[in-house]
Amino acid sequence: MLPVIYSDEFLDHKTGSFHPEKPERLSAIATALKQAAFAQHIEWRLPTLPEKRSIISVLEQAHTRRYIKKVQEIAVAGGGYLDGDTPVSGRSYDVALLAVSAWLDGVDVVLETGEPAFVLARPPGHHAESDQGMGFCLFSNAAIAALYALEQPGINRVAILDWDVHHGNGTQAIVEKNSQIAYCSLHQYPCYPGTGHHTERGFHKNVLNLPIPPSSDIKIYQPIFEKKVVPFLSSFQPDLLIVSAGYDANADDPLASINLQPQDYGLFTDYCLGITRKILFGLEGGYDFDALSKSVVATIERCIA
């Protein structure tokens, strides 16, 4: 059984009718998974309520108190914006805390079972920096999960693979000084947010940025995975691999110009499983509902096979 950590409360982060990061993204994925041929092999789990964790102390490993309070205050006031692209609604703060808790649950279950898990949560996180939310992201879920994992017994190294079409500037900024965390990102360049140059190597040569030119497809990605991604992650010998699983590099996605197909994410998943089965997949981007759903199905199908 593959655990999928999900709650309908993730739909309560309201972004507006015309915003691409909308609740229907999760609804579409959940429907597709429940209709998949392997549906009986999925174990749906509710996330732990944030009040049952010391969630703020966990958040403060990645974000400043001032920023956390700012997000809370905007939500309590009824909503607003962190930047032009990043709305906060009345329930967004609580939902974002629940999303963080879901990612931590994912860490717990992967370390307990030694097998993959998928966190189907929103808002996404990889653009959120320590003192600033941006790019649809409130809290840096993957970075927080990695820091949390390092506090668990026997976990000395955590790797993060970010295959979202946009560079995870927030994740990198939070983890690049930590020698126990490796970060690898494949992202369209040039593209939002304009970071992720190949010369950025981290403070311990623990960062590998792989800018991808627009219009690239699997013929470009496959050798990059084989010659660069897999060797980098394998040599780090992670005790846990976290995948910032964004699916906006699909050809049908409206926010970028990469030409992957949903089945390509199954291949990416195979590469990851060749490194370790201790993998936490967590949703980031992906804004065409059909391509997004099929891509998540392809990812989970490979984990169950």
CATH number of residue 189's parent domain: 3.40.800.20
Tell if the pTM clears 0.95, that is, is over it: yes
Q: For residue range 147-173, what is the model confidence (pLDDT) as tens digits? A: 999 999 999 999 999 999 999 999 999
- pLDDT for the residue 12: 98
Give CA–CA dist 253/292, Å, rounded.
Answer: 8
> Is 212 within 8 Å of 188 (Cβ atoms)?
yes
- Residue 297 scores a pLDDT above 90: yes
Domains in the chain, number? 1
- pLDDT for the residue 46: 98
**Selected catalytic residue, list 13, 63, 127, 167:** 127
User: For this structure, is 187 an active site residue?
Assistant: no
Give the range of the structural domain holding residue 285, as residue numbers without chain letter.
2-304
Q: For residue range 67-84, what is the model confidence (pLDDT) as tens digits? A: 999 999 999 999 999 999
Tell me the CA end-to-end span of the chain in Å, nearest whole number: 11
Give CA–CA dist 49/104, Å, rounded.
Answer: 11
- Residue 176 scores a pLDDT above 90: yes
Task: Compute the CA torsion angle 133, 107, 198, 194 (nearest 10 deg).
Answer: -20
Using alpha carbons only, give the angle 273, 41, 31 rounded to the nearest 5 degrees.
100
CB-CB neighbours of 244 under 10 Å:
29
- What proportion of the chain, given as a percentage, has pLDDT over 70? 100
- Residue 305 scores a pLDDT above 90: no
